[in-house]
Amino acid sequence: MYFTREQVAAVEWSFGRAEKITERYFDLGRDGFRDNRYDVKTRYFLADHEIHDRAFAHLCRYSYRRQGEEEGREDVYFFKICLQDGRILNAVERGSSFVKLAPLMYYIATHELIHVIRFNSGEAEFEASLEEKIAEEEKVHELTRNILKPVADRDLNLVIDCFRTDYHVGDIFSEEERLKN
């Protein structure tokens, strides 16, 4: 299942809005996300290793060296936020009486951008133990709720409530199983 053109527009709107709110929260300044390189791709554009059937989004990190840079220089990291269209659309369909795509995508976008910022700043390690990944995921959910709560309308509040620490919309597997894959 893939996003339609209208749904892709909602995804783009959500990431644009999420960028602005996370830039302000983390005081990223004028450069904003220039130093936090990322791209967003929907299921249609993902490679096999970027498909993850137990999450709404899967964050992949790639590294490269700028052309002409000498050996031994630190690599530049680039993150790809791999949206799992089917998983997201399934959650919206199952919760259609209360979960709407735009607020769910706004939450997902904010959440993933927080990960990008934290990994780039060194506040969190991308290559961490399972225990550390679980703790990081809870920390990012907490930050996401704190960032979005002041601007939340009724629909976004419903999504925020679904991501409380005691309940995760769409989770049918344990956190440990989800992070292993």
What is the rounded distance in angstroms from the CA atom of residue 154 to the CA atom of residue 161? 11
| Confidence at residue 77, expressed as pLDDT on a 0 to 100 scale | 87
Q: What are the angstrom distances between the C-alpha of 17 and each of 20, 61, 121, 152?
A: 5, 23, 21, 12
Give the per-residue pLDDT at 107: 98
Note the pLDDT tens digit of each residue in 170-179: 443 344 544 5
How high is the pLDDT of residue 70? 67
Which of 57, 158, 148 is closest to 98 using CA atoms? 158
pTM for the predicted model, two decimal places: 0.88
Ranges under pLDDT 50 in the chain? 168-175, 177-178, 181
